[in-house]
A and B are shown apart, each in its own frame.
Chain A
Amino acid sequence: MYDTLSWSDFRIRIELPTGDVLIKSTLTSAIVTLHRYAEAAITRWVEGNGEKPSFNVDNLAHENIGLLVRREDDEYTAWRNHLIDRRNNAARTFILHFLPTIQCQLECKYCFENGGDRQQGMKPDIMAESRKWLDTYLGNYPEIDTFRLVLFGGEPLLRKDIVAQGVKAFHSLARERKLDFWCELTSNGELLDEPIAAMLSQHEWRRVQITLDGLKDVHNTRRHGKNMRPTFDRIVENIRMLLSTDYIPAVDIRISFDLTNADNVSELIRYLATFGRQDRINLSLGLITSTLGNPNRMGEERLIAQKALLAWQVAKGCGFKVPDEFITGPWCVAIAKHSAVLQPDGALQKCFCTAGREEYNFGTIREQQTKGYLRDPRFEHFRRTDQCVKEKCQYLPMCGGGCIHDAIVAGGGPDGAAQRFCQKTLLKEMNDGLLRLTYGG
């Protein structure tokens, strides 16, 4: 049986100074280490130029490792078929991005929502109808056993009244239907005071994401209110409040990242380390990309990766958790079967990056009830990876053709959704670097 094995195309490797190599499956995420001579021996064997090594090579062929595969297997076709099958036939989670408003009190120049219609706020009748719509939908799809509610905006806490109504209404609906339920909040953090935290904590609040872009001066230059009103001190005060209480297990601090603030990010991370709560802070870097409102922003991928890896190195040195991989897909809420972005006017979209742009609506809570699952064909172009398959790209399982919103921006509008968005250089640089940082000793 094992004479028919070959190395999987879905693997990346880095060499260590010790003579060992780290090999990672981009499909299963398994990581193994072995001496480079052992790797060479395996290569000779699978190529028919040597005997089977005497060591435990069979482990590499286990389905949960996936580094050796049957020679006759077409990994790319199998991957795509499996992805589509799981997406269409194994979806058990409903993901609702709930937007009480698209307004925001901050004026970040890089925001992907800039250029859309941001004036509207949710009216009470939409709130009431949305519960009814969702109840009907859940009834139509009894296989759904989990309900993930994400409070999003704009800045959702500009409408604390709607947030409170929504969380209570959806939590009670989840209870009635015996669903596993939790809520998350994506916020700029300025209005996240203790009363709202206390309210959310009554409704399975499991995640909060708050953005800081650097130390005070840099943050206030990038993430300010009207007339350059500074926001850093209040946001940090609210983060400290969350860290000193038990309303939520951890605080996710998102750092929007590009070449203009990259050098200050390390200073921010060192500052956050002085809080002494590395156990309750999850850092993430949000690489600022081009947007429909500003399509020319992403910097050179190799340089971005170098700067990002430097920040992660500092984070590791400060005792923060560091991710061991960087992915740009293949799943996101926009591709998931049972997912929707509910806008303040009741319109539904698949991707929250297009909020406020009506050309990306695929329905409303009023008309959707008779239309089957939450489908926008623009987010189901699974053939967009054909070129990736042709190129035998090892990053395909971590990418799936890349972000559809990025493809829309690159393509100049909705038609771009049918194209892939390749960031292979960024994927390679980031994943090689994170692998070395995390497991390279």
Chain B
Amino acid sequence: MAEIHDPKANVTRTQLCGVQGQRTATPMPNSRGKSKIKVVKAGSALHRFGAEKKLGKDGCGY
């Protein structure tokens, strides 16, 4: 994970994380693709505003 400070280091553009200015020997996963950010759980803008009909468990857990 050590950063490469030598500009002549043998690192290709895609290995540089696809981000300008960041020079690292560790390539980022999926650096060429569009799936770099993975949503592991969908959210809702209304999630905290009582929009869902829920059984029990409001705040205090009862």
In the complex, whether B8 has a CB less than 8 A from a CB of chain A is no
How many positions in chain A have a CB within 8 Å of any CB in the partner chain? 70
Given contacts A352-B62, A403-B59, are A37 and B38 in contact (CB under 8 A)? no
Say whether A29 contacts B18, CB under 8 Å.
no
Binding site secondary structure of chain A: mixed
How many contacts between A and B, using CB within 8 angstroms? 156
Chain B residues with Cβ below 8 Å from A254 are 61
Interface string of B17-34 (1 = CB under 8 A from A): 111111010101111011
Given A37-B19, A41-B17, A330-B59, the answer on whether A27 and B48 have CB atoms closer than 8 Å is yes
B55 on the interface (CB 8 Å rule)? yes
Q: Is the CB of B40 within 8 A of A56?
A: no
Q: Does B53 have its Cβ within 8 Å of any Cβ on chain A?
A: yes
Of the candidates A50, A90, A186, which one forms a contact with B50 in the assembled complex, judged by CB atoms under 8 Å apart?
A90
Chain B residues with Cβ under 8 A from A38's Cβ?
17, 19, 28, 36-37
Selected A-B contacts with CB under 8 Å, 24 pairs? A19-B1, A24-B41, A29-B44, A32-B38, A35-B28, A35-B29, A35-B36, A37-B24, A38-B17, A38-B19, A41-B19, A44-B21, A50-B20, A55-B30, A64-B45, A86-B50, A90-B50, A182-B55, A209-B62, A328-B59, A330-B48, A332-B60, A333-B62, A398-B48
Interface of B is mostly: loop
**Chain B interface residues (CB < 8 Å from chain A):** 1, 17-22, 24, 26, 28-31, 33-51, 53, 55-62
Q: Is the CB of B22 within 8 A of A37?
A: yes
Asked whether, in the complex, the Cβ of A329 is within 8 Å of the Cβ of B59, the reply is yes
A residues with a Cβ closer than 8 A to B are: 19, 22, 24-25, 27-35, 37-38, 40-41, 44, 50-51, 53-57, 59-60, 63-66, 82-83, 86-87, 90-91, 93, 146, 148, 150, 180, 182, 184, 186, 206-207, 209, 252, 254, 284, 286, 324, 327-333, 335-336, 352-353, 397-398, 400, 403, 405, 439
